[in-house]
Chain A
Amino acid sequence: LAKTTQPISMDSYEGQEVNITCSHNNIATNDYITWYQQFPSQGPRFIIQGYKTKVTNEVASLFIPADRKSSTLSLPRVSLSDTAVYYCLVGEGGYNKLIFGAGTRLAVHP
Chain B
Amino acid sequence: EADIYQTPRYLVIGTGKKITLECSQTMGHDKMYWYQQDPGMELHLIHYSYGVNSTEKGDLSSESTVSRIRTEHFPLTLESARPSHTSQYLCASSEWSGGNTGELFFGEGSRLTVL
Contacts and interface: CB of A to CB of B under 8 A. Distances in A.
Contact of B106 (A45, A89, A92): A45
Contacts, number: 69
A89 B107 contact: no
User: Does more than half of chain A's interface fall in helix, strand or loop, or is it mixed?
Assistant: loop
B100 A93 contact: yes
B22 interface: no
B: contact size bracket: 20 to 34
Contact of B59 (A32, A96, A97): A97
Contact of B45 (A34, A45, A97): A97
B58 interface: yes
B101 A34 contact: yes
Contact of A43 (B44, B99, B103, B109): B109
Nearest to A32: B100
Contact of B104 (A36, A41, A102): A36
Contact of B43 (A51, A96, A100): A100
A49 to B, nearest CB: 6
Given A43-B107, A99-B59, A49 B101 contact: yes
Contact of A93 (B44, B56, B59, B99): B99
A24 B50 CA distance: 25
16 contacts: A32-B100, A32-B101, A42-B106, A43-B109, A44-B106, A89-B101, A92-B99, A92-B100, A93-B96, A93-B100, A94-B96, A97-B48, A98-B48, A98-B101, A99-B45, A100-B43
A98 B33 CA distance: 9
A42 B109 contact: yes
Contact of A97 (B58, B97, B102, B111): B58
